[in-house]
Amino acid sequence: MRYREIAKRLSCLGCREVPRTGDGSHRKWLKPATGGQTVIPDWGGDDLKLGTVRGAVRQPGLTWDEFSQA
Q: Is residue 37 part of a domain?
A: no
Q: Among residues 19, 43, 31, 41, which one has the least CA distance to residue 67? A: 31
Which range marks the domain in which residue 3 is found? 1-13+49-70
**Claim: this prediction has a pTM higher than 0.85:** yes
Q: Which residues of the chain have pLDDT under 70?
A: none
Q: Is residue 2 part of a domain?
A: yes
Q: What is the pLDDT, as a whole number, of residue 12?
A: 95
User: In whole angstroms, what is the distance from residue 48 CA to residue 6 CA?
Assistant: 10
Q: Is residue 22 part of a domain?
A: no
Euclidean distance between the first and the last CA atom of the chain, given in angstroms as a whole number: 14
Q: What is the pLDDT, as a whole number, of residue 70?
A: 87
Q: What is the pLDDT, as a whole number, of residue 45?
A: 87
**Contact (CB, 8 A) for 37 and 30:** yes
Q: What is the pLDDT, as a whole number, of residue 17?
A: 95
What residues are paired with 17 via a beta bridge? 29
